[in-house]
Structure 1
Amino acid sequence: MSSPVFLQDIQLNTAPLIVDLDGTLIHTDMLHESALRVSRDRPLDVLRIPLWLLQGKAVLKSELASRSSFDASLLPYNESLLAWLKEERAAGRRIVLCTASDRSIAQAVADHLGVFDDVLASDGAVNLAGDNKADALAQHYGHGNFDYVGNSSADLKVWRRARKAIVVNGARGLAQKAAALCNVEREFPPQPRGFAAWRKVLRVHQWMKNLLLFVPLMAAHRIADIDGWLTLVLAFVSFSLCASTVYIANDLLDLESDRAHPRKRLRPFASGAVPAWQGVVLAPVLLAVSLALGAFVGGTFLPWLLFYFVLTCVYSWGLKRVILLDCITLAMLYTLRITAGAAALSMPLSFWLLAFSVFLFLSLAFVKRYAELKSQALSGKQKVHGRGYYTSDEPLVLNLGVTAGYASAVVLALYLNSEVVLELYERPEAVWGAVPVLIFWISWIWMQAHRGHMHDDPVVFAVKDRASQLAGLAFGAALVVGALGWPW
């Protein structure tokens, strides 16, 4: 039965505005995010999820919420909806947060935003969704005495009891279904998704790193080996799908760190452009296809692919939070691509190539971390979220990275003085031109990072950077002339 206060609000056309949380006020689902945080921080508790679920979804939500913490300020809020809610509250309207998420989560969101007069949520006993939510709201405010802001077909049961509907992020046809139950006051359209969002989910632009698989073939001067090229193309697809699996897992487990980053917060899962559950479903499918293709490649490629996958998982679950080990692991992951390429062709791998790769990629790993430190320092932060570094470590990381880069140039110079070069190159003296080019490029990359121009990933930056492109052409030209001789 409605109180006189609420009846007076109705008469003044200021019915309480009831707002859903998951998928409505925020572009994500807190149950999914709680499960992901528990799987990251307390993986053994994942085994208890089926037992909690058998006791009801309210129990599941309560248990997951109690075992994970989150920063309400970092959630991907629906800014247009939030701005409207603030206008309504400023006009004197009563705003209530009503969600199926656990009350501890709902209260944290309400405390952060400061726009809600009351909070209704699941309490460990009752899952406040569907019929339960509709009954609770009708009991609190009376049938037809409140307006409800929702986003899914599950909210139709609530709109049946409401005075007006505000449809947010609704699927096609949801507003029409709501209009059949009550008056639709307003619609907030969903975020555009499409191919661009999925391309970012898969990190297709990062697949260029897997071109390193072709390095052993070219280093052995087997350019005319058609079968080798076909094998490596298949290996490239397999490795790329495996890498995308890892990128998805990493993004799902690193949501809060990404949201605290000025650019990473725009990633599909962090921003809520793509629901987290879709990533959870897609990742194992990609991995299965990757392993099937890897088995078809033959040789010892599949064991190296599995090692790459395990190492990246270990990196995502913990090593990336350990200073120095994170960069060493990144360098190993780059080098593993070259190793896997050689394994696909069943060919031995040169000691010189491995040594050169380790130092070069260690330098690039430090560039990546240095760029993050620089960005966080400019934001006024003292510690990088989700990493073991302080922004005061910036000068040391720069020194370590430059040293590793120059070490790769020393390895290249020593290689050019070995007997192997005399066997592979017709004009070994021409190959020496690659050394100053490499020194220039390493210096250039670090100069750009120092000036704050570096993309989070130095490989992606190098592909787009004109000076890096010219350096790559000059480096390749020195190798070609050394192998084929002077053109005159």
Structure 2
Amino acid sequence: MASETMASGTATFERTVSQGECSQVYVDLDGTLIRSDLLLESALAFLRHAPLRIFSLVVWALRGRSYLKARLAEHFDLDPAILPYRTELISYLRELKQSGRNLVLATASDERLAQRVASHLGLFNGVLASSEANNLKGKNKHQAIEAHCGNSPYVYIGNDSSDLHIWKHAQAGVLVNATRRTADRARHLTNITAEFPREPVRLSAYIKAIRVYQWSKNLLLFVPLITAHLWSNLEAIVHVLFAAFAFSLCASSIYLINDLFDLSSDRAHPRKRFRPIAAGLVPIGNAVALSVALLLLGLIVAAQLSPLFLGVTVAYVVTTLAYSLSLKTYVLIDVITLAGLYTFRIIGGAVALAVVPSFWLLAFSMFIFLSLALVKRCSELQLLSKSQGTATRGRDYMTSDLGVVQTMGVASGFAAVQVFALYIDSDEVARQYSHPEMLWLLCGTILYWLGRMWIKTARDEMHDDPLLFAARDRGSLIMALLSMAIVFAAV
């Protein structure tokens, strides 16, 4: 369908060119050539490691949009090779260039960023872009185009309502991902020779972006419900359900923030480059707004349970943000923090139920979740090794660390089993279980499951998130059902 549109558009364009002797084609960048906005991307990159820099953004913005763009461009290490280009439009432009047309990149982005994109693509004969003194948008862009082409006929390719003034004076135009209102108005202003229809807003892209499938991790909030033997208490179950929902909303908010700040590293990753924000399927502005809305809703739900649970939720959010913004870039600190975040969920469940989590439960969770966090790093390092890489982008690991990480992960798993074995012999178990000796069978199921996870990792069969892998793995599900049966038998 896209190729048919491109072919017919090229033919119509050729007729328009031959009639008006127009050889100049001006192409917009943000939202047209790429599915993103370089101003927003440069701002996110600027705030990535120092969120308090937002005050600098405010000061720069007060001096004008062009000044803001110039300052951000100085700090933005743009890699044009990984931007989310519209490949069908690039193919169309290549055909125009082969037919002898002069292509000029005309964008409101800063001239330094625009030059990098133009140099990478090798399509353009020139670049018109914003400078520190001039924001090249709307009428300013029109004036720059008129000056560049010497008032000769030209074609403009764009997407935004701010481009309407340019289309009004262009001999012809091409619409790319324009809204219905903008497209209708553009058709009344000039001869539209080709259209690349607006990509529909897909709910599935937003669901994927907020990672609803990750909500299954918040089943960990139900662990204190089981260990406190409150599984038959309807009020307790409702409390934990609300607690899990609050954590899920907040977690989705942080996932969006994480993806916004990790645009460059995600686009360079063989799997993560398909994430909706990195691929340009979810606009950056929409992602920011959705993140704020989810966070506020999550905190409101948490506040309905208790002030203490709200405090735990805020602490969870702060720790997750710290991980996303900084801690995940440090070797080992990242996996220890991940293990702590899993344990946070167990603490959250206990607070929602107003019970005190035992020392044994917290110690066991830290060791087993550290093992699983190291599984995740191992799977990433193996993938990197297969692609002939040497160091992870945005992380502090190298492929040479794989052996050490595997050893630490397996050792941490065995430590978790040892903690559980010591727990079985404690007075606490004797008080809570009628047949505590049955719990020894759990040591076997946990050993088997952890061993299975690490063997799957060594065979390169592990998804980069072990808990999600376990949720779909038949062997893991069998072990989970068997473990539940053992616990009920011990009661």
Kindly indicate whether the alpha-carbon contact (under 8 Å) linking 2:60 and 2:71 is maintained by their aligned counterparts in 1: yes
Q: What do residues 343-368 of structure 1 show as CA deviations (whole Å, max 9, x unaligned)?
A: 11111111111111001100111111
Q: Take 2:198 and 2:470, find their aligned partners in 1: how far apart are those partners?
A: 35
Partner of 2:209: 201
Note if contact 1:299-1:346 (Cα within 8 Å) is conserved in structure 2.
no
Q: CA deviation at 1:13?
A: 5.1
Q: Which aligned runs of 4 or more in structure 1 are off by greater than 6 angstroms? A: 9-12
Equivalent in 250, 253, 261 of residue 261 of structure 2: 253
1:412 aligns with 2:420: yes
Question: Deviation at 1:158?
Answer: 1.1
User: How far is the alpha carbon of 1:85 from its aligned partner?
Assistant: 1.5
| Structure 1 residues 295-328: Cα deviation after superposition (integer angstroms, max 9, x where no partner) | 2111621111111111111111111000000000
- Separation in structure 2 between the aligned mates of residue 390 and residue 90 of structure 1, nearest angstrom: 44
Q: How many angstroms apart in 1 are the aligned matches of 2:49 and 2:100?
A: 42
Give the letter aligned to residue 455 of structure 1: H
Cα displacement string for residues 220-278 of structure 1 (whole angstroms, at most 9, x for unaligned residues): 11111111111111111111111111111111111111111111111111111111111
Distance 1:434 1:13 in 2: 81
Shift of 1:191: 3.4
Residue 28 of structure 1: how far off its partner (Å): 0.4
Residue 455 (structure 1) aligned to one of 457, 463, 475: 463
State which drifts further: 136-145 or 119-128: 136-145
Counterparts in 2 of 1:21 and 1:242: CA distance versus 1, 3 Å: same
The residue aligned with 1:486 is none
Is 2:18 aligned against 1:20?
Answer: no
CA deviation profile, 1:151-183 (whole Å, cap 9, x unmatched): 111111111111211111112243332111111
**Do the aligned residues in 1 keep the contact of 2:331 with 2:396 (CA within 8 Å)?**
yes
2: CA distance, partners of 1:247 / 1:43: 17
Gaps of 5+ in 2: 1-16
- Which one of the candidate residues 289, 295, 301 is aligned to 2:303? 295
Matched, 1:267 2:253: no
| In structure 1, C-alpha distance between the alignment counterparts of 2:49 and 2:422, rounded to whole Å | 46
Greater shift in the superposed pair: 77-86 or 137-146:
137-146
- What is the alpha-carbon distance in structure 1 between the residues aligned to residue 364 and residue 201 of structure 2? 41
In the TM superposition, what is the alpha-carbon distance from 1:474 to its structure 2 partner? 1.3
Partner of 2:130: 122
Match of 2:317 in 1: 309
Q: Which amino acid in structure 2 is aligned with residue 220 of structure 1?
A: A
In structure 2, distance between residues paired with 1:359 and 1:300: 26
**1:290 offset after TM fit, Å?**
1.6
**Contact (CA 8 Å) 1:432, 1:478: kept in 2 or not?**
no
**SS at the partner of 2:104?**
strand
In structure 2, the residue matched to 1:212 is 220
Q: Secondary structure of 2:189's partner?
A: coil
Counterpart of 1:189 in structure 2 is 197
Question: 2:427 & 2:51 partners in 1: Cα distance?
Answer: 52
Q: Residue in 2 aligned with 1:329?
A: 337
Report the Cα distance in structure 2 between the residues aligned to 1:91 and 1:398, rounded to whole angstroms: 57
SS at match of 1:120: strand
TM-score by length of 2: 0.93
Query: Are 1:75 and 2:83 matched, yes or no?
Result: yes
Distance 1:48 1:104 in 2: 20
Query: 1:108 deviation in Å?
Result: 0.8
Q: 1:300 is paired with a residue of what secondary structure?
A: helix
Shift of 1:375: 1.3
Which residue of the other structure, out of 182, 189, 204, is the alignment partner of 1:174? 182
| Number of the residue aligned with 2:143 | 135
Residue pair 1:242, 1:290 contacting (<8 A) in 2 also = yes
Q: Distance in 2 between matches of 1:153 and 1:19?
A: 15
Q: Distance in 2 between matches of 1:446 and 1:369?
A: 12
Tell me if 1:64 matches 2:93: no
- Residue 211 of structure 1 aligns to a residue whose secondary structure is helix
Between 45-54 and 130-139, the greater mean CA deviation after superposition: 45-54
- 1:52-107 Cα distance to aligned partner (Å, 9 max, x none): 22222111100111122221111111111112212222332211111000001001
Match of 1:344 among 343, 346, 352: 352
SS in structure 2 opposite 1:99?
strand
RMSD: 1.6
Measured after TM superposition, the shift of residue 143 of structure 1 is: 4.8
Partner in structure 2 of residue 480 of structure 1: 488
Contact 1:257 1:385 in 2 (8 A): yes
Gap change, CA 1:390 and 1:225, over 3 Å in 2: same
Superposition map of 1:413-428 within 5 A:
413-428=421-436
Superimposed CA distance per residue, residues 170-200 of structure 1 (whole angstroms, 9 cap, x where no aligned partner) = 1224333211111111111233432101111
In structure 1, C-alpha distance between the alignment counterparts of 2:377 and 2:445, rounded to whole Å = 24
Over the matched positions of the two proteins, sequence identity in percent amounts to: 44
* Partner of residue 235 from structure 1, selected from 211, 224, 243: 243
Distance, in Å, in 1 between the alignment partners of 2:342 and 2:77 is: 33
1:389-411 Cα shifts (integer Å, max 9, x gaps): 01221121111111111211111
8 Å CA contact 2:23, 2:100 repeated in 1: no
Matches within 5 A, 1:146-157: 146-157=154-165
Residue in 2 that maps onto 1:5: none
Question: Is 2:66–2:134's contact at 8 Å kept on the other side of the alignment?
Answer: yes
1:94 paired with 2:95, answer no
Matched residue, 2:6: none
Q: How far is 1:29 from its partner?
A: 0.3
Tell me the equivalent position of 2:409.
401
Match of 1:39 among 33, 47, 50: 47
Give the paired residue count.
475
User: How much does 1:48 deviate?
Assistant: 2.1
Counterpart Cα distance in 1 of 2:466 and 2:374 = 10
In 2: Cα distance, 1:322 partner to 1:423 partner:
43
Q: Secondary structure of 2:135's match?
A: coil
Q: Match of 1:25, as an amino acid?
A: L
The equivalent residue for 2:9 is none
Q: How much has 1:436 moved relative to structure 2?
A: 1.1
CA contact (8 A) 2:49 2:326 kept: no
